[in-house]
Structure 1
């Protein structure tokens, strides 16, 4: 942004014009001294114009005078003084200085001419009384005429300008000497302009370009950046319009012309133009971009050329952390190996490496890591060389501030380039690998450093591979079958099986045009040969390949997927297998009744499905997992039918002669525990079809079978098994006496008929009470109250009874056997299972009526 601000003196006359520039965060000021009409002190117009006061030796000091008058001035008997105000005669004879001319007063003319041999010696004078010695921190200089009248004076300080070997120059002779804004450091490469015009004087024709006004976008380009836009500002710092000049932009490192531009339109004083060009063919590293103004009439060519360093950094990941020795043997050094992934060398000057605590520069001199090469950073080079004497120490560097100390439990490492832009980083722990003198190696330098699976222990006997390929380095071509999956995972006969091979490219190059074979290993059947033409990217990319095995019959299968890739360098991971058992269609065969008493033990099976079931090669097992085969010639279990398996068929029929379903005697029969046990029903593939878990809580009911309450409830829940309440103690080949479709979640008391009429007419003379509970054995009470709350009948008061479907009837009489009057009666029940901590209560109402 360009602003102009006029500055006036005390007489309200224009003194100077400032042009202030702001470019990003950079600000500087160019001062253009224009039309100034200020009286000078004394009668003459000779001024102090340039001062060399800060030199290595006082003999090199000098002061330049300038005749700004229109007449020639005679300096005979003029003198000069410093802060001591003791005038030193310049010359006692006539010495004439023409208008617009310069005279340089020196302390030692020989020393001066050695430093500025190009100066006009006719206008170099060593004062007769010697030039006063000047202080490096600043001083006072007073010029006197022959009458010792002050002609000009200046009291300057080091802050005004001038430095070791660089003079302090006056910008405008017409402006006051005492104004620090009228002075500045010499810009001439020689450090001074004695006997000629000052380098910072305002010229009539003066175009300028400055280093700080050359910028790049992006400011930090990378090797993969498509192009860099170069911007440069060209200023007219002179007093007149300028046109017809040429601006050249070039890469002076590669000697490449980037842009050439001719400004035909006049550029007014104080204005500027912006030159822009695009650079696409840059290289990695440092390039000097130069902007040149070609203008023959420019009176100050010293500011016609500027340059800026364009540093092109490698792409992130060009150089990576490749191996870390963070837990070495005692008296051995820690070290970190870097690897250059690119095909060009990389200069690591002013690159940085940091751990969790501190950051250090790798090298402060120009040193390169070779293309596809290694560098090892160490904290103690002599000790490292003693441990690894065979290594080329040209690529073993000890950073100037040493290597950060690494923690044996794990640490964090960050590699940054000279712009402190992150190149690579890893935060590792001890469980990644690398302990007890074994290095932590990177498997694939092209894959992420942050992935713990990309690191591991060095496998070589030496325990490390500095300046050499890692022992676990990923191969260029390595395609692996990670897994083979089968869907569905529990198939039934007739299902189509989808086989999916998950492939991973563990190598460092892309692969394509390879084959995948699917086969069934037990039969050798080739299911599919698939050619894959889709590229699989390197560094861990995943790709799934699938095929179908249709209409699979029941049985056991072992499938394999194998890669066919001739260039694969690691065939050990080219195949994967998977097994599956294809079962029969869903079978709804239930363990329905268990008789665990002797003479004989037996188990009832119930087919709740719609098709007959062949039990050939089926098995039974009890809690000890011993298998017991059901005979092969067993008849079918018909739909909705029963089948009994027993240890002794004859004894069973003696006990239950009316049993009407198939009775099968097994060669070996499981021995059932009389207190608690488990029975499992297995199909020919040993897949569990049903399981019964029972617990006998009431020894008083010994001799009765255990019946399944609900075929749909969980058979492994002991609450689903209840002692039979049948008169015969069991219900083989028939519906269970405790059968219910659904086990209630809470206690349910039902009364039927309701109302009932106990009048002896043979119709509804009694009502039946049925109680369903979610538990088996309970202490049970059932009491009947009238509407006034009086107990009229205690129907049940028993311990450890089988309450489910507990059949009770009430004839409408009280405890004394007397008939009760018609009305509403309330039935209360309470059931307690002390073992399971269950306490249930409930009630129901019943209407006692009589015929009118």
Structure 2
């Protein structure tokens, strides 16, 4: 078949051989070694075929970018013979890829279309042409594993790869970098917003997952030569969760643990930026992890001490000042003496007393000429405990009916933020209270579930705790309120000698009374069987400490058998004389009898109740509330007490 698409009428046939036609077999070009060091030699093997009729002579020339590297005389090659020639090449002082042009020069060659070919070799880059400068081995869910590199020279990342300790290379995409560029190679794009937008951010198809407790990082050029590497562990290397590990200087050897530092917690990482731990001439560093205060939970308005670690991360010694601020207002400050290069000093600062609550404090380092201000700030949260009785238990229901729910009511004599406050029963398993702000003189109702809404007025502070409710045992348990320091602020432990009744809440006479005293509590006399979120039904405006009443026998059985038929009400008043009123309420809060109304009495006396209702009929067996009131005629003062009495069958 003709080689010419139009045929060759009147000309030499296209398939006829040329008289002189040397042919370089381009597909035969081979290198004895295609990946070289800068000192390596290689041998180029080339096959030449005589496609013509006459013997050929000439030479092979190997060049790069027009510059001849080597040549060889091919001698004489007969018709249709093939000869193989080996040419020595190297060394190549320039790292990177080299495309070599091979050309056959034959005297009088009538066909030069088959006289050339090309072959490529790669010369490895020097050790540390690229520096590993930062890596993250233990990210949280919002972070990414990453490796940061810094370049010493401009180059093309074509055929480069990375690996972990498995030595299984993961190919990087092709890109070009300039001298001193930063390259961040990340497992995913989670941290792209934190990275320097002017650097190279790469998410390769396959990232070598870095083990938390120890692994390796290896950077390979296109020849497979390791350009930089390190092998870290969790014992001797500064590798920690949620913060990266930074090199102190990019040019330092990577595989030396003491050339690396953990990025401060307040910063966490610096992808694509100069490392925050990089040594500067003057660089003071507040060590966040070193900050402590004593005592851990200071008392209100009591001075305490803060200890702060300051490290000289630079080259030159310095002196300076530490300031402590809250809401950008300085609380105090203190100077510190000279700290030498790479040394750390613990500085003690006396803090004036602050009020109860949670105080986020800022620590500011001030050093003249500091070249790195990003590590001059730190923070400490100081929780100042509240005094016992800052909040007060005021009502609780431990044995609800089926249409009720367990609850406790807390009274707030002052406004309070309940951030990190907790409650518990006697098990001491802490249950968190929602973070809310309660106003002064307000009641907060914490309930087991949302049934409580049926018993409270609108716009009251009511919180169904659900799974965070500390289930109260019916007749014996405890209630504990803790502030954010774990300090018990109020508590009580009730038992079967407390006024506990199914379906009725237990109320305190006054919020400011001691909670863990059963004599300060009584069953509610409210018609709704409880008063969550409002003043208790048994609330006293005042209660004289010196008065008392005693009920005996309790229980009593007014059945006419001559035994325990009458309840004796013995009393002593805080007045010389008074008018006495006694009311009896049933368990639902209904008044059933008023045995005495404005009865004049001396300071001591004995009265009775025969168990009859106001209509003269016997009261039913059950639990009743006796409310005793004494009014002093001269001063108008009132002394009251409420006690529970049991009307029972004879034993």
**Fold match (TM-score > 0.5):** yes
CA distance, structure 2, for counterparts of residue 113 and residue 361 of structure 1: 35
Question: Do the aligned partners of residues 51 and 371 (structure 1) sit closer, same or farther apart at CA in structure 2, a change above 3 Å counting?
Answer: same
For residue 401 of structure 1, give the secondary structure of its aligned residue in structure 2.
Answer: helix
Within the candidate set 202, 208, 227, 1:151 is matched to 227
Cα displacement string for residues 121-153 of structure 1 (whole angstroms, at most 9, x for unaligned residues): 4xx3879xx786332537654334676543322
Q: Does the 8 Å CA contact 1:216/1:228 hold for their aligned counterparts? A: no
| TM-score normalised per structure 2 | 0.57
Following superposition, the deviation at residue 405 of structure 1 comes to 3.1
1:407 aligns with 2:480: no
Following superposition, the deviation at residue 517 of structure 1 comes to 7.3
Q: Does the 8 Å CA contact 1:207/1:234 hold for their aligned counterparts? A: no
Within the candidate set 432, 451, 474, 2:517 is matched to 451
Within the candidate set 311, 315, 322, 1:247 is matched to 322
Pairing of 1:715-730 with structure 2 (within 5 A): none
Question: Do the aligned partners of residues 140 and 57 (structure 1) sit closer, same or farther apart at CA in structure 2, a change above 3 Å counting?
Answer: farther
1:377 aligns with 2:453: no
RMSD, aligned α-carbons: 4.5
1:346 aligns with 2:416: yes
Q: Does the 8 Å CA contact 2:195/2:272 hold for their aligned counterparts? A: no
Paired residue for 2:426? 356
CA distance, structure 2, for counterparts of residue 482 and residue 104 of structure 1: 84
CA distance, structure 1, for counterparts of residue 548 and residue 392 of structure 2: 31
CA distance, structure 2, for counterparts of residue 42 and residue 266 of structure 1: 39
CA distance, structure 2, for counterparts of residue 193 and residue 518 of structure 1: 83
Q: Does the 8 Å CA contact 1:349/1:362 hold for their aligned counterparts? A: no
CA distance, structure 1, for counterparts of residue 474 and residue 223 of structure 2: 86
| TM-score normalised per structure 1 | 0.45
CA distance, structure 1, for counterparts of residue 313 and residue 278 of structure 2: 9
Cα displacement string for residues 605-660 of structure 1 (whole angstroms, at most 9, x for unaligned residues): xxxxxxxxxxxxxxxxxxxxxxxxxxxxxxxxxxxxxxxxxxxxxxxxxxxxxxxx
Following superposition, the deviation at residue 115 of structure 1 comes to 2.9
Pairing of 1:381-530 with structure 2 (within 5 A): 381=450, 383-386=451-454, 388=455, 390-392=456-458, 394-475=460-541, 477-479=542-544, 482=547
Q: Does the 8 Å CA contact 2:287/2:311 hold for their aligned counterparts? A: no
CA distance, structure 1, for counterparts of residue 143 and residue 306 of structure 2: 44
Question: Do the aligned partners of residues 408 and 187 (structure 1) sit closer, same or farther apart at CA in structure 2, a change above 3 Å counting?
Answer: closer
CA distance, structure 2, for counterparts of residue 64 and residue 237 of structure 1: 25
Paired residue for 2:183? 104
CA distance, structure 1, for counterparts of residue 482 and residue 499 of structure 2: 24
1:295 aligns with 2:367: yes
Paired residue for 1:207? 284
Q: Does the 8 Å CA contact 2:298/2:304 hold for their aligned counterparts? A: no
Following superposition, the deviation at residue 570 of structure 1 comes to 0.9
Paired residue for 1:717? none
Following superposition, the deviation at residue 430 of structure 1 comes to 3.4
For residue 292 of structure 2, give the secondary structure of its aligned residue in structure 1.
Answer: strand
Pairing of 1:111-190 with structure 2 (within 5 A): 115=193, 118-121=196-199, 124=200, 133-137=207-211, 140-144=216-220, 149-156=225-232, 167-173=244-250, 175-180=252-257, 182-183=259-260, 185-187=262-264
Cα displacement string for residues 564-598 of structure 1 (whole angstroms, at most 9, x for unaligned residues): 984x641679xxxxxxxxxxxxxxxxxxxxxxxxx
Paired residue for 1:79? 160
Within the candidate set 282, 307, 311, 2:383 is matched to 311
Paired residue for 1:65? 150
Cα displacement string for residues 781-815 of structure 1 (whole angstroms, at most 9, x for unaligned residues): xxxxxxxxxxxxxxxxxxxxxxxxxxxxxxxxxxx
For residue 431 of structure 1, give the secondary structure of its aligned residue in structure 2.
Answer: coil
Q: Does the 8 Å CA contact 1:319/1:338 hold for their aligned counterparts? A: yes
CA distance, structure 2, for counterparts of residue 86 and residue 482 of structure 1: 89
1:333 aligns with 2:398: no
Question: Do the aligned partners of residues 190 and 218 (structure 1) sit closer, same or farther apart at CA in structure 2, a change above 3 Å counting?
Answer: closer
Question: Do the aligned partners of residues 221 and 328 (structure 1) sit closer, same or farther apart at CA in structure 2, a change above 3 Å counting?
Answer: same
Q: Does the 8 Å CA contact 1:230/1:278 hold for their aligned counterparts? A: yes
Question: Do the aligned partners of residues 157 and 466 (structure 1) sit closer, same or farther apart at CA in structure 2, a change above 3 Å counting?
Answer: same
Q: Does the 8 Å CA contact 1:258/1:277 hold for their aligned counterparts? A: no
Following superposition, the deviation at residue 76 of structure 1 comes to 8.4
Q: Does the 8 Å CA contact 1:443/1:455 hold for their aligned counterparts? A: yes
Q: Does the 8 Å CA contact 1:360/1:399 hold for their aligned counterparts? A: no
Q: Does the 8 Å CA contact 2:170/2:207 hold for their aligned counterparts? A: no
Within the candidate set 239, 253, 256, 2:329 is matched to 256
Task: Work out the number of aligned pairs and report it.
Answer: 440
Segments of 5+ residues of structure 2 without an aligned counterpart are 1-124, 550-571, 579-602, 604-629, 642-651
For residue 432 of structure 1, give the secondary structure of its aligned residue in structure 2.
Answer: coil
Following superposition, the deviation at residue 372 of structure 1 comes to 1.6
Larger RCO: 1 or 2 (CA < 8 Å, sep 6+): 2
Following superposition, the deviation at residue 88 of structure 1 comes to 5.0
CA distance, structure 1, for counterparts of residue 363 and residue 409 of structure 2: 41
For residue 259 of structure 1, give the secondary structure of its aligned residue in structure 2.
Answer: strand
Cα displacement string for residues 305-324 of structure 1 (whole angstroms, at most 9, x for unaligned residues): 11111222321111122112
Question: Do the aligned partners of residues 196 and 258 (structure 1) sit closer, same or farther apart at CA in structure 2, a change above 3 Å counting?
Answer: same
CA distance, structure 2, for counterparts of residue 259 and residue 411 of structure 1: 46
Paired residue for 1:716? none
Q: Does the 8 Å CA contact 1:137/1:157 hold for their aligned counterparts? A: no
CA distance, structure 2, for counterparts of residue 358 and residue 316 of structure 1: 17
